[in-house]
Structure formats: structure tokens, C-alpha cells
A and B are shown apart, each in its own frame.
Chain A
């Protein structure tokens, strides 16, 4: 009988193997799902994961999809490393898109060059303020950040609906719930001809390097790590958990806000009722799948972008619902969390494991 036994040391091998195994298991379950739906699994998986990347346009689309996910995930990884459960990237992204729109609409007729950087900064500010609310609630009133950030997600969503149906609606837009199209000066320029890849995709590598430096090469990163691993040690060392907490909240909010700013000044070009198809939630999975490490997050983020892109394509080509993306996302996280058991435990045929514990021995 196979059982699980606690390892003396956590396994580094499994730290890396577990995400790969989780991806493989997700693909296997996906094939099964496609087979159940009477779709040739090989054809479906090819449509999902290979076809989108077969031309330059597709690669551009992948970069566009991955950019907001990666920006959110890199921000969230800072929070999660500090042991703070910020689930609010979606709301912070929406808040960023709204504040960017305010600037973009203010500059709609003026022909200036600085409206774009100003709009992006406004987005970062909007996201940071929104995350700041959650930080304030946590550190001034001791409220659970999981619940408050979730509630703020819903509040941001309704704020967006109010905006596009009310004050931000295009007065010449035949009553459609959309803002006016932004001026060309407030739109991110296209990077590659023949694609929709815009200047915004270049922000990700910059943020990636900065996050890596912050986490691996700075004292602040050490403080974040310490707080996350052992709040007590952080306190003994004299690190202020409040200061670190506010910093990571505001930083991750600013990055999610930037993601929102990039969406409305990039591929969308105006404020619409549905700014994000759940990028903020996908980012949570990406942060974990990437092991909270910038390089891992980059790989996981590209995969997640591909899942979003592939989901749209199977909808178009095979007529399957787009929500299949959500199923893949959920499965991925389940399998990852399950495979992670092997980091701390190993399979053994000896008794004394997790599933079949040894009877308590008498103390002599």
C-alpha cells in the first residue's frame, strides 16, 4: 500500500517539477473533456495552443493578452511573498482603466504629446489608491484583506458600469454604454507592423527586471520575504509590517492599474463595460504557478495568455463556449496545489505516512 511520508527536507526537484506536472495533468483532463464533447482532442488542443502562434499576428495577440496578466501577477507576487492575500487585482485594474479614461477624455481635443504618459500615470495612481483602501482597512481597522479586496472588485465593477452608463458615456455615441474613442495622442503606438502589439508590451520586461532586483537584490526584498515567512522574526528584526504591507499593496495596485491603463489606451482605445475578461483573477494563478518568482511568472503568464487566446479561438473555430478558459484555469491551480504535496512529502510503501499514519508508539 502506497502512503505519503514527510520528507526531512523540502524537495527542490518537486518545486520545479510540480508546475510542469500540473500543466501536463491539465492538458490530459482537457483532452478528456474534449473527447467527451465529441471533439477530436488532438485537433482541439492544436487549435487551443498551437494555431494561435502560427503567425506574427498571433504572437502579437499573445503579447497583448499576456501583458495585463503579467503586470498584475508581478504585483501580486510581492503581496503574496509578504504573506498578504491581495485578491483585488481585478478591481485595481478596473480602477486604473477608469482614472486613465478621465485623463484621456480631458485631453481628447488637445494636441499634446504628454497626454499618454499622463494617462498611464493616472492609471497607476488609480490602481494604487484602490489597493490603498484595502491596505488602510487592513492596517487601521484590522479587516481581513481577502474579503475587502473581493468586495472592492465588485465595487470597482459597478463603478465602471456607472461610469460608462453615466458621466463617462460618449455624448455622441447613440447611447451605447461606452466612452468616446480616445484621441490618437492618447493611444499606445503599434510596435510591429501587421500586429496589434503596442508599446505597452515593452513595460512587462522592464517591470519584470525591476521586480527581480527588488526581490533578490534589495534590502526591501529581504524585508518582504522575512515578513512572509515569519511575521514574528520580522518584528524581532524591527521591520515594520505596516510599512512593508502598505508598500506591497500600493505597488501591486499601481501595476494592476497600469495593466488597466494599457488595456484602454491599447487594444480597446476607449472605456467599455467589460475592460478585463478576468485578467486579475488569472494573475493569481500565474503568480502561484510561477512560484512567485519573476522568471517563473513570465513563463506562467505567457501560458495563461495563450489559454485566454486559445479559448477565444476554440469558440470561433469549434463552437465551444469561451468559459472553457475558466475550467482550464481552475484545473491548473487544483493540480498545482495537489502536486505540491510532493514538495513536503514522498510516496512510500512504509507505514507512518500522511494517508495511513502509524499508530502512536508507547513512550518508554
Chain B
């Protein structure tokens, strides 16, 4: 159990997962194992495959609960992700936000086969990670990403957004 938690945490770092997310999930796993096995000695003897399956099941339930909560929530404009950086005027910030929204809309218009790859790349995932998740070769990933980014730039250029816009 401890070894598995350590492994999940270690792997989670690579995916920029917060310790809090892992802790919450592993807590659920502990509760499930305690209910199923009772004594700590029995829990410590649980095979890794059993802990793994319990963890996947706990994670899926946790995600279901989070989905249900999200439907009831409203988006706050105080989201820290949209805070105005110090020294940036409100006008400039508004302009920048509009530009970001235009980029998001332009991404929406590129072909569906290339769009997820572009999104993943722009979200900061390296090409190897994209290839690994989709089970693609490096060449296929590179090709679709290149085409997707070209599509995106063409659409932005058509809207008058180019190099000079963000300098």
C-alpha cells in the first residue's frame, strides 16, 4: 500500500499532479481496504494488484463525485488563474484576454483529428507524451502537430493576429 502510494506520487509528479489529489485518492483507497480487510496486518499483506484495482475504482468514484459537484458550481471571476499581473493596466489585460479568447476560438475551428494534439501541446505536454498517450509514432505525432499549428496560425493570421499582436 505504502509502496503503491509512493509510486503513484512519484509518477504523479511527472503529470504535475498535486500531492493533495494523490492524498485524497489514497485516503479513499485506505478506507476501502480497511472495510474489506479490517486489520492492518491483512491490509499490509494485500497484493499490489488488489491495491491497484482498488485505487482505480476509488479514483473513478472520486471523479464521479467531482463531476456531480461541478454541475452545481458556478465559475467565480475571482479564479486565481485569471488574476491581473502586477503592473498590467486593465485595458492591456482586457486586450490580452480577448486575444486569448480568439486563440481558443481559432483552435475550435481546426480539424478534429489535429485539435486535441494542438491543445495538448499548447497546454505544455511534450511531443513524446502526446505520442505515448495516443499510442502514436513520434513521426505521426510530429506531423499532426505541425499541421495543426499551421492551421491555427493560418486562422489567426486571417483574423489579423500575427507576430506584432503580442509584442
Same complex for A and B? Answer no
Interface on B for A, CB 8 Å cutoff?
none
Interface on A for B, CB 8 Å cutoff?
none
